[in-house]
Amino acid sequence: MLEHMNRREYGIEILQLAGEATDSPGQLLPGLADLLRGGATRIILNLRGVTYVNSAGLSAFIDSYRTAVQRGATVALCALQPQVLKVFKLARVDVFLPIYSTEDQAYNHFGAAQGNEAALPRERIMVLEPGSDLHTELVRVLDLTKEAINYQLQHAHAPGDAMTSLRQQPAQVLLVDVRIPARELLPMFAVMRQSASLGAISVLVAAREEDLEDADWLIRNGADDVIRRPLSHLEVPSRLRTAFALHYALRQIPAPPRPGTTSRNPVEPYPTLR
């Protein structure tokens, strides 16, 4: 039975596996299905902790590799124990499965060496807020969680500036401070949802406890999810992964806006539209 743990560095998902690979053929390796559903296209399988592989487990690796490739992902294996590598070689699957001795070498499979952050594209987050405290807070949390290397942050203080920046360099996620007036956000949401290049942007609303009612209204009128402030290092990585997964899903399956709406949902009245 395999256990798994994943992390992301330089835009590449690293799935670390440990234990004995004895899964039935046709089953994906643990953790891989979630990565593929989340839109991962660059995956390293680190097998340093795998101590045994039988024929069923080998088939699981082959089936997982083929499934990943069919879904547009590039996969490399690394750090196989000698007894595991021997099984792969005897079955001659190393002919089509890219296998590297170390994780550092596996990075070269994607055309970049580890540590060269400029060599790989990073996902983009646009932070829209009246001041700069949300941007500063996000940077602090990303540094704390070692996730900063995965993202390129854009910053704007008004919806008009944000739209200009997004048209020049579209982001995958828009993080909006709930303090931005709703009367300015709704027209922005309407333009975004009608745009071929901006329509799939996933919108997160950052709100403190006392502003959750406003955040909920924005979610029902164009935003996708809320993230609480102060930002937590326990919540931010998972919220961002969910937001990016939504972006990739919307990009693959575009949904035209319904007549009479300015967003993904019909606009609901708000007693005191800010």
132 and 203 in a single domain? The answer is yes
- Domain with residue 28: its CATH number is 3.30.750.24
Instruction: Tell me, yes or no, whether 11 and 45 share the same domain.
Output: yes
Average pLDDT over residues 42-58: 92
Question: What is the count of structural domains for the chain?
Answer: 2
Q: Decide if 7 is inside a domain.
A: yes
Directed axis angle between helix 236-252 and helix 133-144, to 10°? 100
Q: Determine the structural domain holding residue 162 and report its residue range.
A: 122-252
In the chain, % of residues over pLDDT 90: 45
Q: Tell me what the mean pLDDT of segment 164-178 comes to.
A: 94
- For 267, counting Cβ atoms within 10 Å of its Cβ (0-12 exposed, 13-18 middle, 19+ buried), the class is middle
263 part of a folded domain: no
Q: Are residues 15 and 65 in the same domain?
A: yes
Label residue 260 by pLDDT band (50, 70, 90).
very low
- Tens-place pLDDT, residues 16-30: 999 999 866 567 898
Pair 71, 156 in one domain: no
Distance, in Å, from the CA atom of 93 to the CA atom of 147, rounded to the nearest integer, reads 34
Q: Would you say residue 274 lies in a domain?
A: no
Q: Are residues 38 and 145 in the same domain?
A: no
Residues 126, 106, single domain; the answer is: no
Q: Are residues 136 and 243 in the same domain?
A: yes
Helix (H) or strand (E) holding 174: strand 173-177
Q: pLDDT tens digits for 233-252?
A: 888 887 887 888 788 777 76
**In this predicted model, what pLDDT tens digit does every residue of 135-161 receive, in sequence order?**
999 999 988 877 777 788 999 999 999
- The predicted structure's pLDDT at residue 78: 94
Residue 137 belongs to some domain of the structure = yes
Q: How confident is the model at residue 25, as a pLDDT? A: 56
Give the end-to-end CA distance of the chain in Å, rounded to a whole number. 55
Taking only Cα atoms into account, the Rg of the chain, rounded to an integer number of angstroms, comes to: 21
Looking at residue 204, what is its pLDDT? 96
Same domain, 103 and 195: no
Rounded to two decimals, the pTM is: 0.58
32, 81: one domain: yes
Phi, psi of 194, deg, nearest 5: -90, -5
Report the alpha-carbon distance of residue 67 to residue 52 in Å, rounded.
Answer: 22
Instruction: Give tens-digit pLDDT for 84-124.
Output: 999 998 888 887 888 888 888 888 777 654 444 444 557 89
Domain boundary among 50, 80, 110: 110
Looking at per-residue confidence, does 257 or 13 come out higher?
Answer: 13
Is residue 46 domain-resident?
A: yes
Residues 70 and 35 in one domain: yes
Is the Cβ–Cβ distance between 128 and 96 less than 8 Å?
no
Place of tokens 């969680």: 145
Burial class for 126, CB neighbours closer than 10 Å (0-12, 13-18, 19+): buried
Q: Where are the alpha helices (H) located in 182-235, listed in sequence order?
A: 182-194, 212-219
State the sign of the Cα–Cα–Cα–Cα dihedral 64, 119, 239, 263: negative
Q: Give the CA count within 13 Å in the CB-facing half-sphere of 130.
A: 6
- Bridge-based pairing of strands 225-228 and 173-177 is unpaired
Regarding whether 127 and 97 lie in a shared domain, the answer is no
248 and 128, same structural domain? Answer: yes
Averaged confidence pLDDT in the chain? 84
The CATH number of residue 156's host domain is 3.40.50.2300
Which pLDDT belongs to residue 267?
Answer: 54
